[in-house]
Structure formats: structure tokens, C-alpha cells
Chains A and B, each alone.
Chain A
């Protein structure tokens, strides 16, 4: 692992950033740097995330995007005065409803109600695909879960040390962040975040299974030559062999019909278009 070269980019969901109320001033170097500290113990100045572009505005001075992940939205701003023209070129290629992978620096400001709001200044932004999104969601949920379990363990024992946490399997970086966050967020309710993660992974599993079902149906229908199409029962029986349930076959057939890949020749008989 490369160390000491570049500040790490934290993989966090928008919910984790949105619930952040602590920004620390790091005065170790010549410049004073603001570092966010999330309730789950992620801290830094840079994040990496994947999501869908749900809003896009552009004027002479800036480009603004809203990128939504399964837990909420990140707000991105790029100003003309920013020196990184390479990022500008990348931003200009991005369109509404595209899935994107973003790395950016986090800046903050305090709203009138005293609430801290975060803005992302993108350092890179590229279009991404469904499986990359699934990968990011899954890995980020995994990292969140590790920190939640670590935080709960740390709260069980007063004055728990970093070495005890690392001995339990956390990295030094995770342990350090957790010890800071349990002090900074003494009453944080982890259960709500856990519920969000459970539902996210459940929905992702369903969508993954439907994708597998779609591929399986297309493959099976491609093998058939009967112009009358293949019977629904035969499709279900074939896909069952691949571990796909009848409900998933039904959902996948609906999606394939909507997308125009499969045609219902007659009642419950299907053919590939």
C-alpha cells in the first residue's frame, strides 16, 4: 500500500456525510485544513462515491451537479476559476441520469440554522456502469458495517485503546477514526444506519438476481427456434436450475418486455425479439 503520498479518499454514503456535524481543524501543516469526522468514524478531506446524476445546472461561472446514491444526495460544484481544466472536460461529458464515479474534496459551510452543509469539489468524474455501482454500494456498506461494529464494541468498554480495536481486526486507520467519533458523537443511534444498510443490500440482491434471470432468459430463448415461442413453464424450469426463483423470472420477463427484448407471442409463450 502506498503511504504518505496522497490523502485517502473515503468511501462513504451520502447519509454518513449528511449526518456529520463535526469538522476538525488540522493544523499540523502550514495551512489550516478542515477535516470532516463522520458519526461512523470516517475522517478526511476527500471522498469517493458512485451515484446517479439527478440534477445538473450550468452557468458562465460554474457547473453544479446533484449525484444520488441509495441513501441520499451529494452536491457537487465546479467553478470556472478552478485550475483543473481536465476535470472541467470530464464534467462537460456528464449528462443527466448518467451513473458516475466521483472523487472530490469536501468543503463545508454553516447554514443559517447552524447546520453544517457539505459541498464536493470534484477532482475526477467519469461515467460508470451498473456492476461498478453495485460493487461500490456493496464495498461501502461493508466498510460502514465494520465501523459500526467497531464503534459498538468501543462503546462497551470505557477507555478502550486503539491497540485493543486493531487486535479485534480493525485497521489502525479505522480504530483511530472510531475512537474519535465515539467521543464526538456520544449519543449517535447506529441502528438506523444499520437498517438502511440492510435494506440497501437486500434491494441490491434482488436487482442482481433479476439481472441474472434476464441473462438466463435471453440465453434460453435464443436457443429456441419454435416461432410460437417457448412456454412460460419451460422458462421457469430452466431458470430454476440456475438458482433463479419463479418470482424473479416473472419480474425479469416484465423488465425484458418493457425494454423490448422479449415478446409474448401468445398467452404465456415467449420469444426473443
Chain B
């Protein structure tokens, strides 16, 4: 049997002893031919780091936050990552007198790989677009700062509670909480998270992705492809002057006296040869490609015509290779891209895309 600290466990070991704190402990049911059984899983940490464990068998005395001496455990790789395992031979001895300060370690993730579900990770990128707002917690006023973080795969919104973060240069954020809100991946920084300045170069602008590679609802990306269908309700819409919500009738139900103004909304499917995705867009993103001027929508002498606007959008988009920048979001219909800019593919775009495609074959 070998005695190890967590950071020394890097490979598969048959018989290992360690003293560690149980940081989390959950249970799961397993259905097999032999019937139903329960196993436990969670995180173990010591002064050197944190590792996940799976317990086919665990002493009922062991609870979260206990410091435990563990003998006859073993380690194996699961999904190419090392994990500690306990079985019926593993021995547990509680160490209530031991105080242990756990060194938290988090997996480094690229933004495009931030899956759904709550987890803590390390991110590296450059922050921009600082916004500050106040909120009240238990009667106490506190500040929250929000940013957009870019790395070389995409971008994500990030909130920092009570702490201003450095912008414009590389940072490594350790212990960032990832969760999903409103169909988008969000990140937040609590008090325990660490912020380090690092050297980092990132090309500005949205990052190219093939539709087949889209997995998580992140921002800061662009796709290229042809529209293969356009929603028949695309085109001219009316919005309430007060709440700006889309109205189907002449009046907003909540603000019947407010009146309305015209706006543009379009939705269409785009195919890039690897798959297709639904794209939604507003006036700002398509006004240039469709040649629709804002004053056309507010011209009271000649109000815009629904059919005419639809046809102009259709004529501008269909049959053309497009570059679409925006943010992904997930809803009951699947993933969709909210466009921030829709433009025609130009010579420079084709040159850039050629470089991207050829780099794969080098």
C-alpha cells in the first residue's frame, strides 16, 4: 500500500492510502441484472488538491466535511481523467481532530466546452464591457459587476459579486461557477474564486464554428452557410411603444393607450453542409443586407407593407451564402442562434474560411 497526497495521484494505483476531506457526497441508484443497488460519488480534497471519487461501498459514518483516513482504495482513469474508487475492501477512519485546509483545484475549460449543469471551472480569457449594478442581500446593499469574457473559442457573460475585475488583458479565473439561465451558459465569480493576470493573445471578433460542432449555448461565434427556409411570419412586426413587446393586434394588452411602432423580425434555417440551425434576427442585424432603412418603418405617409418587407428579406437572404454572427441559446425546440449581424460572404471571408479549412489537413 502506498500513502499519497491528492496531487501525487496521477496514475492508476491498485492499493492507496490517503487522508482527505469529503467535500461532497451524493448517491445514485444503479440498475443491473443483479438488481438495484446504490453507490456514492463526490469530491475528496487535501492541502494539495481535489479529486473525484466513486464509492461502490462506503462507511455510513462518513459525511460531507469529514476528514477521513482511507485505506485500500484504488485509482483508475474514467473518461481519461483519474478518479479514486472505494469498494468493500476499503477502510475508513474518521479524523475529527484534524483541521484540513483544502486546496481547491478546478478543471480548465475552453468556453465552447462549457456544458450545461452547475459546476466550477477555471477559465482563461480577456474581459470587456463592464457594467455595474447594485442589489440588496439581507437588507445590505451590494454591487455586482458583469462582463463579457472572450477566449479563442467564443464568449460568455460573467458576473462578479462585489469585486471589480481587470479588463483588456489576459486573466485566469479559478473557481468560476457555471450554470445555465434562460437557455444560455452563464458564469459567476464568488468570494472564494481566484483572479490571476496572465499573458494572453486572442484574436478579436467572433469565432468560427461549424454547425455540427455546436453543443453549448455560448456567445461570440459565427457560422457560414445558406438559408434553406425562411419563416413565413418573418418580416414586419408591431411593438408596443411602452413595453416594446411584440403585439399581434393594434393594441398592447398591458398598455392599450401606448400605441405601436414597426420593427423587423426574421427567422430562418441555415445549412452549412455539416448540419443546420435555426437563426432569429432583428432589424439591426439584417438592415444592411436587406437594405431596409429605419426611417422606412417610421414613415407615416407611406407605412411599410408587410408583403413587401417579407419579399425584400427573402430576396436578400435566399440563395446567398451568409456569415452570421451571434449568440446561441437553447429552448424546447433545440439550439438557435440569435444573430447580431447577418452579412453576405465576401472575397475576404472566403479567403479566411479557406485558411481555416486547410489548416485541418496540415
Contacts and interface: CB of A to CB of B under 8 A. Distances in A.
Interface of A: 1-3, 5-6, 8-9, 11, 48, 100-101, 103, 124-129, 131-132, 134-136, 138-140, 142-143, 145-146, 149, 169, 171, 173, 208, 211-212, 215
Contact of A136 (B275, B321, B351, B354): B321
A186 to B, nearest CB: 25
Contacts of A171: 212, 274
Contacts of B273: 11, 48, 139-140, 143
Contacts of B345: 131-132, 135
Nearest to A132: B321
Secondary structure call for the B interface: mixed
Given A1-B211, A1-B214, A139-B273, A131 B347 contact: yes
A194 to B, nearest CB: 12
B319 A127 contact: yes
Contact of B275 (A1, A131, A212): A1
Contact of A135 (B269, B333, B334, B353): B353
Nearest to A172: B212
Nearest to A138: B354
Contact of B226 (A1, A101, A142, A149): A101
Contacts of A6: 269, 276
A140 B354 CA distance: 12
Nearest to A6: B276
Given A124-B318, A134-B350, 4 more contacts: A2-B277, A128-B320, A131-B350, A135-B350
15 contacts: A2-B277, A5-B334, A9-B228, A101-B226, A101-B318, A101-B320, A103-B228, A126-B319, A131-B321, A132-B345, A142-B360, A145-B361, A146-B360, A149-B361, A171-B274
Contact of B347 (A128, A140, A149, A211): A211
Contacts of B353: 135, 138-139
Given A131-B347, A131-B350, A143 B318 contact: no
B281 interface: no
B320 A132 contact: yes
Scoring A1, A11, A171 by chain B CB atoms within 10 A of each residue's CB, the highest score goes to A1
Contacts of A149: 361
Given A124-B228, A138-B350, A145-B361, A129 B276 contact: no
B272 interface: yes
B357 A208 contact: no
Interface string B224-253: 101011000000000000000000000000
A52 B211 CA distance: 27
B319 A101 contact: yes
A136 B212 contact: no
Contacts of A5: 334
A101 B228 CA distance: 10
Interface centre among B335, B345, B350 (most CB of A within 10 A): B350
B344 interface: yes
A143 B357 CA distance: 9
The 3 closest A-B pairs by CB, nearest first: A126-B319, A132-B321, A11-B273
Given A48-B226, A128-B319, A1 B334 contact: yes
